[in-house]
Amino acid sequence: MTESQTRNPRAEGGALPQPVVERRRFNASLIWLIPALAALVGLGLVVNNWLQAGPHVTISFQSAEGLEAGKTQVKYKNVVIGRVGRIELSEDRSHVLVDVALEKNAAGFATADTRFWVVRPRIGLGGVSGVDTLLSGAFIGADVGDSKEPRDKFTGMEAPPAVNHGAPGRSFVLHADDLGSLDIGSPVYFRRIQVGRVVSYELDKDGKGVSLHIFIDGPHDRFVTRETRFWNASGVDVSIGASGLKLNTQSLATVLAGGVAFQDPPGPHDATPAPQDNAYTLFADKGLAMAPPDGEPHFIRMRFDQSMRGLAVDAPVEFLGVEVGKVVSVRLDYDEAKQRFPVVVGAVVYPQRLGSAYDKLEALARERGENPDLSQLIGRLVEHGFRAQARSGNLLTGQLYVALDFVPNVPKVDFDPNARPLLIPTVPGSFDKLQEQLADMVDKIDKIPFDSIGKNLDHTLAGLDATLKQVNGETLPAFKDTLQGVQATMGSANQALSADSPLQQNLGDTMEQLQRMARSLRVLTDYLGGHPEALLRGRRPDASPSSAPATPSQGNTP
Amino acid sequence: MSALPRAAELGLIACPVCGLVCRNVAGDRQLDGDGVGDAMACPRCGSLLRRRKSNSFMRTWALLIAAFLMYIPANVLPIMRTASLNDIDDNTIISGVVELWRAGSPYLAVIVFSASIVVPVLKFLALGILLTSSQRSSAWARLQRARLYRVVELVGYWSMLDVFVVALLTALVRFSVLSRVEPLPGVIFFGLTVVLTMLASMSFDPRLIWDGRNSDD
């Protein structure tokens, strides 16, 4: 700052004072820095926005329920990776198209195998998920795959995927006859610990079964070996055995929602972990799953000549109490020669279920140099009385089962080992036998001559009647007279025995005399005791009056 | 030349503080021709003596342009986030106004709309008109333009309404999970716009309205 002028206003003497001129150091045009800065900030925002903007993808969903344009977020592992920009209907109005602006760092999600789904609260028997969305609103979940192929159109899933990409574990395929109560997300148990879940299911192409894809989480997937058996653990399994009532369930959840359990079979087996997507059979229960493999099924046929009421398809075929197969068909046939309608029962049997017995039979057949085929083996057995028989399994319901058994004393039959399917000779069932025996008994009862027996009985009864009349008319009055006579006799006897009768008095006198006689006899014996010589010499005169002897002189000799 | 002489024509300049009338140094723009505006000081009280505010046009233009540039992100970016239990809502100024209108508070919507959209835009227009007309020394509607300037000055104080609303809500609505309000970057740009427009209107010298070649009263 340079002061070029004096500060005294009155210096110029009456004239107006000159202002002090000060040098400015800054160029006024520096003010343009402010708009430049503002422009820079604005430009920075634009550039930042442009840099932040990731790719736009379009996802189609069945409905836009819970989605909100400009608000709904896209999350991966609960990290926001994008935001829904626009929601519009597709041209054919069958679904909605959701435009999602992904963030720059989420550009990798715009690849071919990325999956998108809407996370909504889901409440099912298997559990509750997405509760947080109740408050925060729905969001779109994403799961990215390995693909590098860029893509910007996706079809959203209606349900969240059961397994996220890259989760440790392995998936396997189960084949079952039907789905049962299983569903996507149904748990898979190993020793009652949940180790996986059902990922998806589909009908087989031929429609004859269901294929289930399950995913076992690592590290438990190593427990799935090539020999592992899977079974449907849904519901409650109640069995009554020798040890009492047994109730078997996996968990309360499976009772309601179903589940799958697996385990290795007991005994030695191949314990190498199974490869990815190995296929297994899903058994109906643990017992079936743990049973040794059935081997090749054989179809057999049986002809029964009696009614097969109570024999249903799936009824068991038992050999000596071991279930070896099941009935697959029950059909009527017509026998022209006999004019009868025999029942033809078809069944599949699994000889492997006989275990070592079958192996031994086979070995024996080989030793004999015969064809160890089932038909040949059965041919030998038939010679020894091997027959099929329909037996009653349940007396109350009349359910029948087919028993293969050795029946003693049966007539020999022709057996054709080359017939296909094999025709097993039959004998009437035990219940039928009982019926026959009953019929026999009835026949015999029929033959009893009830007519003549009745007639004879009638005659006999008439005779009896006449006899009784005679007894009534003649015998009974006579009997009465006799009784009266007896009564009179008794009356006189009574009189004779009364206290004041002469008989009594005589008796009293006699007794007195007898008493007196006994007394004198005692005196005599006393005297004789003292004087035995008196027997010879007679009684001596009394020496003194003190020893006054009795006078039984007249009776001293006995 | 008009009938009534002006201070500049008489070569006089008055000190706005102590009222001392000085002789104007001839040519006040660039005293020594170095391009940098030199300043005169009152010989008595030392306060700055200016015939007109220095570089008024340039400053006002610069600040106005800066304000306008800031006004774009202020409107594009959200200014406020209202987060309630089940919803997170980011609002720009316009969407806030629309929401207020829809929510059944049209009066409030009108107030917010006028305070944050109408007023700034009018300010830009008014200052722009004042600047261009004054730069061309136009004699058109001088009195009205002077009044317009005063209105712009007056209204300027009220332009911070939006910023106040956001600041108040942010401080008051803090119920953690249930609901809360957070300021977003837009409000900063809006505040900058208001500040810059106020600075622009301050740097404009209304005396320039009356300067002119054929100035008439």
User: A548 — contact with chain B (CB < 8 Å)?
Assistant: no
* pLDDT above 70: residue B36: no
Task: Determine the Cα–Cα distance for residues B5 and A537; give it in Å rounded to an integer.
Answer: 229
Higher pLDDT, A58 or B179: A58
Distance CA A349, CA A424 (A): 12
Q: What percent of chain B is predicted at pLDDT more than 70? A: 88
Subunit contact A19:B41, Cβ cutoff 8 A: yes
**Rounded Cα–Cα distance for residues A40 and A52 (Å):** 18
Residue B147, token pair as written in the block: 């009044």
Put simply, the answer to whether A41 touches B70 (Cβ < 8 Å) is yes
Considering only CB atoms, B20 lies closest to which of A5, A9, A32, namely A9
Average the pLDDT over B138-157 and give the result: 86
What's the confidence (pLDDT) of residue A27? Answer: 66
Are B182 and B141 in the same domain?
yes
Choose from A27, A31, A133 for mutation: most chain B CBs within 10 A.
Answer: A31
With CB atoms and an 8 Å threshold, state whether A32 touches B62. Answer: yes
Q: Answer yes or no: is pLDDT of A271 > 90.
A: no
Domain total in chain B: 2
pLDDT tens digits for range B110-133: 988 888 888 889 889 999 999 998
**pLDDT value for A7:** 47
Q: Given this model, what pLDDT does residue B217 score?
A: 46
Q: Does A14 touch chain B (CB under 8 A)?
A: no
Distance CA A225, CA A220 (A): 11
Q: Is A50 on the interface with B (CB under 8 A)?
A: no
Its pTM stands at: 0.52
Q: Tell me the pLDDT band of A514, cut-offs 50, 70 and 90.
A: very high
Region A253-258 average pLDDT: 70
Q: In this structure, are B115 and B199 located in the same domain?
A: yes
Helix axes B119-135, B56-76, angle to 10 degrees: 160
Query: CB under 8 Å to A469, separation ≥6 — which residues?
Result: none
**pLDDT over threshold 60, residue B59:** yes
Instruction: Tell me chain A's radius of gyration from C-alpha atoms.
Output: 61
Shortest Cα–Cα distance, B151 to chain A (Å): 25
Please report the pLDDT score of residue B35 as a whole number.
45
Contacts of A28 in chain B (CB under 8 A): 36-37, 54-55, 58-59
pLDDT beyond 50 at A4: no
Same domain, B81 and B186: yes
Q: Do A26 and B36 touch (CB under 8 A)?
A: yes
Q: Are residues B77 and B178 in the same domain?
A: yes
**Cβ pair A9:B196 closer than 8 A:** no
CB–CB contact A137 B86 (8 Å): yes
Contact A71 B31 (CB under 8 A): no
Instruction: Give the pLDDT of residue B128.
Output: 92
Asked whether residue B165 is domain-assigned, the answer is yes
Residues A147-197 pLDDT 10s: 888 888 888 887 777 777 777 888 899 998 888 888 877 888 888 888 888
Q: Which of these ranges, A374-378, A386-390, B66-70, B186-190, has the smallest mean pLDDT?
A: A374-378
Q: Residue A543 has what pLDDT? A: 62
Q: Is the pLDDT of residue A266 over 50?
A: yes
pLDDT at B47 over 50: yes
Q: Please compute, for residue A554, the number of CA atoms within 13 A of its CA located in the half-sphere on the CB side.
A: 2
Q: Report which of residues A89 and A361 the model is more confident about.
A: A89
Residues A301-307, mean pLDDT to the nearest whole number = 84
Mean pLDDT calculated for residue range B52-70:
85
**Rounded average pLDDT over A19-45:** 79
- Name the pLDDT band for A516 (thresholds 50, 70, 90): very high
Mean pLDDT of the region B167-173 = 86
Shortest CA distance to A284 belongs to which of A325, A239, A237?
A237
Tens of pLDDT along A423-459? Answer: 888 887 766 677 778 888 999 998 888 899 999 999 9
Is the predicted pLDDT of residue A11 greater than 50, yes or no?
no
Cα A150 to Cα A85, A103, B210: the distances in Å are 20, 15, 66
What pLDDT was estimated at residue A10?
47
Per-residue pLDDT tens over the stretch A43-77:
888 888 888 778 888 999 888 888 888 888 888 88
The answer, yes or no, to whether residue B32 has pLDDT greater than 80, is no
Please answer yes or no on whether B23 and A32 come within 8 Å at the CB atom: no
Which of these three, B28, B51, B74, is where a domain ends?
B51
B44 and B63 both lie in a single domain: no
Residue A427, beta-bridge partner list: A389
Q: Averaged over A511-524, what is the pLDDT?
A: 93
Task: Identify which of B12, B66, B67 has the shortest CB distance to residue A16.
Answer: B12
* Mean confidence (pLDDT) of chain B: 81
- DSSP at B179: E
Q: Is A18 on the interface with B (CB under 8 A)?
A: yes
From A15, which residue of chain B is nearest by alpha-carbon distance? Answer: B23
Residue B6 contacts residue B27 (beta carbons within 8 Å) = no
CB-CB: which of B39, B55, B87 is closest to A22?
Answer: B39
Helix (H, G, I), strand (E, B) or coil at B178: coil
The answer to whether residues B5 and B91 belong to one domain is no
Which residue stretches of A63-157 are H helix? 132-136
Binary contact (B35, A27; C-beta < 8 A): yes
Read out DSSP for A313-372? TT-EEEETTEEEEEEEEEEE--BTTTTB-PEEEEEEE-GGGGTHHHHHHHHHHHHTT---
The pLDDT > 70 percentage for chain A reads 87
CB nearest A38 (choices: B54, B55, B70): B70
Which chain B residue has the Cα nearest residue A22? B39
Higher per-residue confidence, A483 vs A271: A483
Residue in B closest to A17 by C-alpha: B22
Asked if the Cβ–Cβ distance from A31 to B58 is below 8 Å, we say yes
Q: Are the Cβ atoms of A15 and B23 closer than 8 angstroms?
A: yes
Substitution target in B34, B44, B205 with the highest count of A β-carbons within 10 Å is B44
B84 & B33 share domain: no
Each residue of A327-346: pLDDT tens digit? 888 888 888 888 888 888 99
Between A199-203, A208-212, A425-429, the lowest mean confidence (pLDDT) is in A425-429
Note down the domain range covering B34.
Answer: 1-51
Q: What percentage of chain B has pLDDT greater than the value 90? A: 6
CB pair distance less than 8 Å for B86 and A26: no
Task: Please compute the mean of the pLDDT values over residues A204-219 and round it to a whole number.
Answer: 88
CB pairs under 8 A between A and B: 109
Residue A127's pLDDT band (boundaries 50, 70, 90)?
A: low
Select, from the ranges A290-294, A398-402, A477-481, the one with the highest average predicted confidence (pLDDT).
A477-481
**Residues B66 and B164 grouped into a single domain:** yes
Q: Do B69 and A41 touch (CB under 8 A)?
A: yes
Alpha carbons A228 and A78: distance in angstroms, whole number = 36
Q: What is the pLDDT of residues A381-440, one digit of tens each?
A: 888 888 888 887 776 777 788 888 888 877 888 787 777 788 888 887 766 677 778 888
CB A177 within 8 A of CB A209: yes
DSSP code of B162?
A: H
Cα of A240 to nearest chain B Cα, Å = 54
Question: Quick one: angle between helices A374-383 and A356-367, nearest 10?
Answer: 90
At residue A42, the pLDDT reads 86
A229, A264 contact by CB (below 8 A):
yes
CA distance B200 to B130: 12
Contact B36 A34 (CB under 8 A): no
Residue A487: what pLDDT? 93
Q: Do B100 and B155 fall within a single domain?
A: yes
* Model confidence at A518: pLDDT above 90: yes
For residues A395 and A437, give the distance between their C-alpha atoms in angstroms, rounded to a whole number: 18
Average pLDDT, chain A: 81
